[in-house]
Chain A
Amino acid sequence: MPTLAPSRKKLRVVAADFLNSLPLTVEMAEDELFNFEYVIPSEGARRMMEQEADIALLPVAAVAEIGGLEVVPGPCIGANGRVESVVIVSQVPLDKVQRLLIDNASRTSVVLAKIFMDSVGKGDIPFIRMPGQAIPANVKGTDAGLLIADIAFRESKQFKYRHDLADAWKRLTGEPFVFAVWAAQPGVLTPELVERINRRFWDGIARKHQIIEEWAAKHGMPKAEVADYLDERIQFNLNKSAWYGMQEFFRLGSNMRLLPDARVEFATPQEPQNGINTFGKFVPEVVPYSRSYGVDRILARADAGRRISIHDAERLYLEADLTDIGEVANNIRNRMNPGGRVSYIIARNINYTNVCNVDCGFCGFYRSDDPKRKGHNEGYVLTRQQLREKMDELADGDGVQALVQGGVNPNLPLEYYTDLLRWMKREWPQIQQNSFSADEVLGLCPNTTPQEISAVLHALRDAGLDTFAGAGAEILVDKVRKRVSYKKSRSAVWLEVMRQVGIMGMKASVTMLYGMGETTRDKFAHMAKIRQLQDEVSPFMVFITWPYQKGPEQKIKSFDQAGATYLRVQGISRIFFDNIQHIMCSWVTQGPDIGQTALYYGADDFGSVMFEENVVSASGTTYKMNANSMEHCIREAGFIPFRRKGDFSEWDLVEHQMLQNTRVL
Chain B
Amino acid sequence: MSSKLLSRVRSLLERQERIGVDDCQELFQVKDLAAIATLARIPRERRHGRNAHYRAIVPLTVATVDDLAQAGGQLEPESGAVGIAVRPDGQAAATLGALMELQSAMRLLPLPATLFISAGIIARAAEATGSSIPEAVQALAGGGGVFINGDEAELSDATFRTAHTAAAIPFPQWLAVHRAAHAAGLKTGASMLYTVHDRPAEYAAHLQAIRQLQDETNGFVQFVPMGVQNRDVAEWYLVAPTAAQSLRVVAVARMFLDSIPHIAVAPSLITSEESFVALSYGANMVDSTIAVGDVCSDEGLGVAAAEGASLPVIAASTARQRGGILPRTIHSRIVESRHIPVPMDAAFGEISSLTILAQQ
Contact = CB atoms under 8 A, between A and B. Distances in A.
Contacts of A105: none
A638 interface: yes
A655 interface: no
A330 interface: yes
B312 A597 contact: no
B327 to A, nearest CB: 15
B107 interface: no
Given A326-B37, A626-B313, A632-B242, A593 B276 contact: no
A637 B31 contact: yes
Interface stretch (A25-33, A483-491, A558-566): A558-566
Given A591-B271, A594-B274, A564 B33 contact: no
B314 A624 contact: yes
A38 to B, nearest CB: 42
Given A327-B34, A628-B310, A597 B315 contact: no
B7 to A, nearest CB: 16
Nearest to A317: B338
Interface in B264-289: 270-271, 273-274, 276-277, 279-281
Interface of B: 31-34, 37-38, 41, 242-247, 270-271, 273-274, 276-277, 279-281, 310-317, 319-320, 333, 336-338
B338 A321 contact: yes
A299 interface: no
9 contacts: A323-B280, A564-B273, A564-B338, A591-B320, A600-B33, A620-B317, A622-B315, A633-B242, A638-B31
Nearest to B333: A562
A623 interface: yes
B33 A563 contact: no
Given A323-B37, A560-B336, A638-B244, 20 more contacts: A322-B277, A322-B280, A323-B34, A323-B280, A327-B37, A591-B273, A591-B317, A591-B320, A592-B243, A592-B316, A594-B273, A597-B244, A597-B277, A622-B315, A628-B310, A629-B314, A633-B242, A637-B33, A637-B242, A638-B32
Interface in A632-651: 632-633, 636-638
Nearest to B277: A564
A564 B333 contact: yes
A117 interface: no
A237 interface: no
A621 interface: yes
A594 B243 contact: yes
Given A564-B333, A638-B32, A623 B315 contact: yes
B86 to A, nearest CB: 30
B312 A633 contact: yes
B38 to A, nearest CB: 6
A622 B34 CA distance: 29
B336 A564 contact: yes
B33 A638 contact: yes
Interface string A189-215: 000000000000000000000000000
A562 B275 CA distance: 10
Contact of B41 (A321, A566, A590, A594): A321
A596 interface: yes
Contacts of B312: 628-629, 632-633
Interface string A593-637: 110110010000000000000000000111111101100110011
A622 B270 CA distance: 18
A356 interface: no
Contacts of B311: 628
Given A322-B337, A600-B33, A563 B314 contact: no
Contacts of A637: 31, 33, 242, 244
Nearest to B241: A636
Q: Which 6 A-B pairs have the closest CB atoms?
A: A638-B31, A563-B273, A593-B243, A629-B312, A564-B337, A562-B336
A180 interface: no
Contacts of A624: 314-316
A560 B277 CA distance: 14
A629 B240 CA distance: 11
B254 to A, nearest CB: 13
Nearest to A319: B338
A590 B274 CA distance: 10
A594 B315 CA distance: 14
Nearest to A562: B336
A567 interface: yes
A594 B243 CA distance: 7
> Which of A326, A590, A592, A638 has the most chain B CB atoms inside 10 A of its CB?
A592
Contact of A565 (B245, B310, B317, B336): B336
A299 B313 CA distance: 37
The A interface is mostly helix, strand or loop, or mixed, namely helix
A91 B60 CA distance: 85
Contact of A327 (B38, B245, B338): B38
Query: In the complex, which of the residues A323, A566, A628, A637 has the most CB atoms of chain B within 10 Å of its own CB atom?
Result: A323
Contact of A600 (B34, B276, B315, B317): B34
Contacts of B273: 562-564, 566, 590-591, 593-594
Contacts of B314: 592, 623-625, 629
Interface residues of A, number: 37
A24 B247 CA distance: 57
Contacts of B32: 638
B274 A597 contact: yes
A545 to B, nearest CB: 15
B203 to A, nearest CB: 16
Contact of A621 (B277, B280, B317): B317
A633 B319 CA distance: 22
B54 to A, nearest CB: 14
A548 to B, nearest CB: 15
Most chain A C-beta atoms within 10 Å of own C-beta, residue among B279, B314, B315: B314
A133 to B, nearest CB: 49
Contacts of A330: 34
B34 A567 contact: no
Contacts of B247: 597
B245 A636 contact: yes
A560 B41 CA distance: 24
A637 to B, nearest CB: 4
Given A593-B273, A597-B243, A597-B274, A323 B281 contact: yes
Contacts of B310: 628, 632
Contacts of B281: 323
A628 B245 CA distance: 17
A617 to B, nearest CB: 9
A620 B319 contact: yes
Nearest to B280: A322
A600 B246 CA distance: 14
A623 B320 CA distance: 11
B244 A564 contact: no
Contacts of A326: 34, 37
A547 to B, nearest CB: 11
A596 B244 contact: yes
A259 to B, nearest CB: 28
A65 to B, nearest CB: 26
Nearest to B319: A620
A563 B315 contact: no
A622 B236 CA distance: 13
Nearest to A597: B243
B23 to A, nearest CB: 19
A550 to B, nearest CB: 12
B337 A562 contact: yes
Nearest to A590: B273
A620 B320 CA distance: 10
A593 B319 contact: no
Contacts of B34: 323, 326-327, 330, 600
Contacts of A323: 34, 37-38, 41, 280-281
A562 B247 CA distance: 17
Nearest to B32: A638
B49 to A, nearest CB: 12
Contacts of A564: 273, 276-277, 279-280, 333, 336-338
A563 B247 CA distance: 14
